[in-house]
Chains A and B, each alone.
Chain A
Amino acid sequence: MLSRSAERVYWLGRYLERAENTARIVQQYSQLLLDLPPEVGVKWHELLTIFGVDEARLGDSDVASIMHYMLADPTSNNSLAFCIRNARDNIRNARDLLPQESWESANELDQYARKYLGPAATGENTFEVLSDCISHCQQINGVLIGTMSHDSPYHFLRIGQNIERADMTSRIIDVAAAYLQKNERLVLRYGSTLWTNVLKSVSGFQMYRQYCQPEVEGLSVIDFLLNDSKFPRAIRYCLQRAHRRASALPRNQSLLSAIDTTIERLPSPLPEELDGASVTELMDLLQREFATLHSVIVDTWFLPA
């Protein structure tokens, strides 16, 4: 497999995953705001911090401009439209390796996004449009998983997806942890709503309910999202999957040992006295680890810049 193609397929994995996660988070976030009283202090700006956007960048923007920035702005590399476009372009440019149906599907999604994300950002059918984007991403994923041979292109795709997914989960935990610190009294009362929302934004609510204790409570949610080795959006699971895919690639030593190192950073069991500040610290550490995994991949397999 060409180094150039590996790069494109890897980025396809990342953008496709980022698109789906972005749609899901924005959708859940708008639902959450309907549930929480203003004094809890959850605001639209917080949404931006999940994506690492400097709040100062948007200043006193209103909901409309934040939504536009997150969904439709083609120049913002955080927008759903941008992720979809890039996923589509990477399929276009690696089309010789990917199933034809994935290209047709990505093209449809891109056309859909161009047409409807603008209105969705202004509040028109936002929920439905985001649901459509999510299911379209799932459809593309389904085609890729169901029809690609489990060979190098597939491994790069899945490594990209798993790293992106782990990264996104860590960002979501990070933002929730910030509330633990900010306002303990209110969080106690509304905490379960908040953590339910965290689980829903990674489609993890049902699985959490099935495998963990029925009560939705901060530390056990964090533990589930960090350490579960069966839930596909838990960080440990993502890393184990990436490890498995990497072990089928040539010249994989550096990546395998970097993934091992990252897995060792996951505290299991979680210390009982974990507070908001230490969760934030841990998530920052993990995000730096994910960035390292990315550079190892670039250095090992991609064309030199």
Chain B
Amino acid sequence: MRFGSENYSAGDFYDELIDRDGNPRPHARLLAEYLSGLPTDDLLERQLAADSTIEDMGISFTIYSEGDNIDRAWPLDIIPRTIPSAEWDHVERGLKQRVMALNLFIDDLYNDRRILNDKVVPADLIDSSKNYLQPCRGIRPRHGVWAHICGSDLVRDGDGTMYVLEDNLRVPSGVSYMLENRNVIKRVLPMIFRNHTIRPVSEYPSQLIEMLRSIAPTSVPGKPEVVVLTPGVYNSAYFEHSYLARTMGVELVEGNDLTVGDDDFVYMRSIDGLKRVDTIYRRIDDTFIDPEAFRPDSMLGVPGIMRAWRAGNVALANAPGSGVADDKVIYSYVPEIIRYYMSEDPIIPNVPTWRCSDKQHLDHVLANIGDLVVKPANESGGYGMLVGPHASAAEHDKFRELLKADPRNYIAQPTLALSTAPTLCDDKLEPRHLDLRPFILQGDRISVTAGGLTRVAMRKGSLVVNSSQGGGSKDTWIVEMDP
């Protein structure tokens, strides 16, 4: 495939746009034709236009400890990542199946513990998890749903298979960037949209507010009052918190805007006095939400909010304790969890995973650490992990020691040959590795975003896509194909 004057080849990797012979994949044909007809200067100009639109629109994420300059412009590569609609329909079914199973699992863990009694998942794994929160025992949130908003990371391996890499069930972020990426791309590449049928992504805020209303306590007369709870203006995802509050038309509150009354209801401090709150979309980690119940040193949370939640007077999304299911050791059991609750085989496979808590698995990992990716069970944002093939012998040794000291806290996976897509690097298109984070909402019903947030590792050969570590992003197109 030629773009401008350059030949584009993804080598041995699976490329989202072209096949092994260098021909555009059928759903990407129109995009590939458009790109190959576009002079390089034109492409660069559009990338600049996108960059300045992002600055002007103030689409940013926040980096800690940079002093005064706290907002960084959101990195967006203008070449869209394309997925055919038929494949996406399949993935969507798989994600719904997975999240429904995970919610049944969490509800079971805090109530009957059937799956533990049936020894499908070892009980000591749950009881030793710091994300299994005792104050949540015996609670039954509405619809039996705990993780109302889930961001699952999907990756495609060398043979083209799509895997779930991890499930984020605590406070997954990124959806606002998915929405804004589309807005920016529509501004800078309007003509491509004319020739394609691309599924819109813009319904997300309406689906989110509907879901949040559907989980409000049943005792609420009239329309439930929904708020978004943010840790504050310096949080790395404050842009998103504010974006979601604005697009849903609800208040964005911080911990000290809320108070729990003697009646165990939650109120917000308004200019007209106290006003009752029914559903809180909280973007604060579990153990920070209530200094009375968890960390007494938390300044972010609301004292007594767990009391109100346990009394059924307020809904929290996601419910506290949901994080028990996004432990990476639990992840390795998800296929069994799906079979157990849904009596179906998983539609989207898991990446094969070694649990270091298992002696045989640990020995395998120690012996093959140079080929594996090792991850701590409870970190997110790409922190604390080892990419074996890219690390030094000293780092391998360091991780061997870490694994031996705390095997329960680590898992290992084969290093996947993540798929690539053409990405504008300096002044030409080069293949870069990427993943995809769709968002799944579950309340009284379940929905999945059309596509999701595609994250790209901007450095050549790198597999690390996190924006906190130099990753970029792409607009994600679910392209309707004629049957």
Taking Cβ atoms with an 8 Å cutoff, the residues of A that contact B are 1-6, 74, 89, 92-93, 95-97, 100, 103-104, 107-108, 111, 152, 249-251, 301, 303
B271 to A96, Cβ gap below 8 A? no
Contact residue among B68, B71, B243, B269 (Cβ-Cβ distance under 8 Å from A2): B269
CA distance A4 to B232 in the complex (A): 12
Apart from A4-B253, A107-B56, A303-B256, list 4 A-B contacts with CB within 8 A. Answer: A3-B269, A92-B233, A96-B246, A251-B272
CA distance A66 to B254 in the complex (A): 39
CA distance A92 to B233 in the complex (A): 9
Q: Contacts A250-B271, A250-B272 given: A95-B246 contact, CB under 8 Å? A: yes
Max count, chain A CB within 10 A of own CB: residue among B57, B243, B252: B252
A111 to B55, Cβ gap below 8 A? yes
CA distance A3 to B274 in the complex (A): 10
A251 to B271, Cβ gap below 8 A? yes
B356 contacts partner chain A, Cβ-Cβ < 8 Å: no
Q: Specify which chain A residues have a CB less than 8 angstroms from the CB of B257 in the assembled complex.
A: 2-4, 303
Q: Which residue of A lies closest to B253 (CB)?
A: A2
CA distance A170 to B25 in the complex (A): 70
Smallest beta-carbon distance A243→chain B, Å: 17
B242 to A95, Cβ gap below 8 A? yes
Q: Contacts A95-B242, A96-B242, A108-B56 given: A303-B269 contact, CB under 8 Å? A: yes
CA distance A108 to B58 in the complex (A): 9
Q: Specify which chain A residues have a CB less than 8 angstroms from the CB of B251 in the assembled complex.
A: 2, 5, 96
A96 to B272, Cβ gap below 8 A? no
B219 contacts partner chain A, Cβ-Cβ < 8 Å: no
CA distance A143 to B256 in the complex (A): 31
CA distance A250 to B270 in the complex (A): 10
CA distance A111 to B57 in the complex (A): 12
Map CB proximity to A onto B114-144 as digits: 1 under 8 Å, 0 otherwise: 0000000000000000000000000000000
B28 contacts partner chain A, Cβ-Cβ < 8 Å: no
Q: Specify which chain A residues have a CB less than 8 angstroms from the CB of B56 in the assembled complex.
A: 104, 107-108
A–B pairs, 24, beta carbons within 8 Å: A2-B251, A2-B257, A4-B254, A5-B252, A6-B271, A74-B68, A92-B58, A93-B233, A96-B242, A96-B250, A96-B251, A97-B246, A100-B57, A100-B246, A104-B57, A107-B56, A108-B56, A152-B271, A250-B272, A251-B272, A251-B273, A303-B256, A303-B257, A303-B269
B457 contacts partner chain A, Cβ-Cβ < 8 Å: no
Smallest beta-carbon distance A11→chain B, Å: 13
Map CB proximity to A onto B230-257 as digits: 1 under 8 Å, 0 otherwise: 0001000000001101100011111011
Smallest beta-carbon distance A138→chain B, Å: 18
Max count, chain B CB within 10 A of own CB: residue among A3, A100, A104, A301: A3
* Interface SS majority for chain B: mixed
CA distance A97 to B252 in the complex (A): 9
Task: Give how many A-B residue pairs fall within 8 Å (CB-CB).
Answer: 64
Q: Which residue of B lies closest to A5 (CB)?
A: B251
Pairs A-B, 6 closest by C-beta atoms = A96-B246, A96-B245, A250-B272, A107-B58, A96-B252, A301-B271
B268 contacts partner chain A, Cβ-Cβ < 8 Å: yes
Q: Specify which chain A residues have a CB less than 8 angstroms from the CB of B273 in the assembled complex.
A: 250-251
B271 to A103, Cβ gap below 8 A? no
For B, the interface residue count at a CB cutoff of 8 angstroms equals: 24
Taking Cβ atoms with an 8 Å cutoff, the residues of B that contact A are 55-58, 68, 71, 233, 242-243, 245-246, 250-254, 256-257, 268-273
Q: Which residue of A lies closest to B247 (CB)?
A: A96
Q: Which residue of A lies closest to B246 (CB)?
A: A96
Q: Specify which chain B residues have a CB less than 8 angstroms from the CB of A74 in the assembled complex.
A: 68
A103 to B233, Cβ gap below 8 A? no
Q: Specify which chain A residues have a CB less than 8 angstroms from the CB of B55 in the assembled complex.
A: 107, 111
Smallest beta-carbon distance A51→chain B, Å: 22
Q: Which residue of B lies closest to A111 (CB)?
A: B55
CA distance A93 to B57 in the complex (A): 14
Q: Specify which chain B residues have a CB less than 8 angstroms from the CB of A97 in the assembled complex.
A: 246
Q: Specify which chain A residues have a CB less than 8 angstroms from the CB of B58 in the assembled complex.
A: 92, 103-104, 107
CA distance A249 to B68 in the complex (A): 35
Q: Specify which chain A residues have a CB less than 8 angstroms from the CB of B242 in the assembled complex.
A: 92-93, 95-96
Q: Specify which chain B residues have a CB less than 8 angstroms from the CB of A96 in the assembled complex.
A: 242, 245-246, 250-252
Smallest beta-carbon distance B267→chain A, Å: 11
Contact residue among B233, B246, B270 (Cβ-Cβ distance under 8 Å from A3): B270
Smallest beta-carbon distance B177→chain A, Å: 15
Max count, chain B CB within 10 A of own CB: residue among A2, A93, A111, A249: A2
Q: Which residue of B lies closest to A6 (CB)?
A: B271
CA distance A260 to B56 in the complex (A): 42
Q: Specify which chain A residues have a CB less than 8 angstroms from the CB of B68 in the assembled complex.
A: 74
Smallest beta-carbon distance A75→chain B, Å: 10
Q: Specify which chain A residues have a CB less than 8 angstroms from the CB of B271 in the assembled complex.
A: 1-3, 6, 152, 249-251, 301
CA distance A301 to B273 in the complex (A): 9
Q: Which residue of B lies closest to A7 (CB)?
A: B271
CA distance A263 to B271 in the complex (A): 25
Q: Specify which chain B residues have a CB less than 8 angstroms from the CB of A6 in the assembled complex.
A: 271
Q: Which residue of A lies closest to B250 (CB)?
A: A96
Smallest beta-carbon distance A260→chain B, Å: 21
CA distance A7 to B269 in the complex (A): 12
CA distance A250 to B254 in the complex (A): 22
Smallest beta-carbon distance B210→chain A, Å: 18
Q: Specify which chain B residues have a CB less than 8 angstroms from the CB of A303 in the assembled complex.
A: 256-257, 269
Q: Specify which chain B residues have a CB less than 8 angstroms from the CB of A93 in the assembled complex.
A: 233, 242
A1 to B256, Cβ gap below 8 A? no
CA distance A250 to B251 in the complex (A): 18
Smallest beta-carbon distance A248→chain B, Å: 11
